Structure formats: structure tokens, C-alpha cells
Amino acid sequence: AQRVTQPEKLLSVFKGAPVELKCNYSYSGSPELFWYVQYSRQRLQLLLRHISRESIKGFTADLNKGETSFHLKKPFAQEEDSAMYYCALSTGTASKLTFGTGTRLQVTL
């Protein structure tokens, strides 16, 4: 069965410092991976997906099939990046999502 692991519950960084939120997955098929974000008092929303290979709000994530990882990175953290981040794996014809347990990013001055 598929699984998504986010080893850090909380990641605290200073403003301007680099950020890396770790995500590892386990899936026998071809993975479709996403990062979702939930800002305070807002809905869970898509941040980026590996297929699009975009940089959103300065964040990037590269799928590494050899290491089965999809880590989220940003070179310089901003206060507004503080939020809950979830890595998710889409599987099956109904695009079901398997989520990790989430990492809370806290950016301090």
C-alpha cells in the first residue's frame, strides 16, 4: 500500500534562512506528488505539483524516484510562509490522495 512520510512535525527557521520540508513516499506505481498548504484560518490548498515543475511563492520540489522523495525547498523563508504543509500522493483512477502527517513551518524574525 502507498504511504507518505513527513518526519518533522515542526520546523522552525529564521526569516531569510533556507527551508527544506522533507517528504518520502512508498508506492509501487508511477507517483503523482503534491504539496498542499494550510495557512491560518484558510482552507487547505494546492501549493505545487511535481508534474508542473513550477516555482510557487518561491517554493520548488523535485521528485527523486531513486530516493522516493519529494522535498519542498525555498532558499529564503518569509514570515508569510508560516503554515501547515502536507505532502500528498495521488493514486488510482479516482485520484485519491494519501497525505503525510504534515509539517508546521514556523518562520521567526
Partner 1 sequence: SQTIHQWPATLVQPVGSPLSLECTVEGTSNPNLYWYRQAAGRGLQLLFYSVGIGQISSEVPQNLSASRPQDRQFILSSKKLLLSDSGFYLCAWNPDRGHEQFFGPGTRLTVL
Give the interface with partner 1 as residue ranges (CB under 8 A): 4, 6, 32, 34, 43-46, 49, 51, 86, 90, 93-102
* CA separation for the pair 17, 5 (Å, rounded): 24
Judged by beta carbon, residue 40 or residue 93, the one nearer partner 1 is: 93
For residue 72, the minimal CB distance to partner 1 (Å) is 15
Residues 67, 72, 75, CA angle at the centre, nearest 5°? 120
For residue 95, the minimal CB distance to partner 1 (Å) is 5
First to last CA, the chain: 41
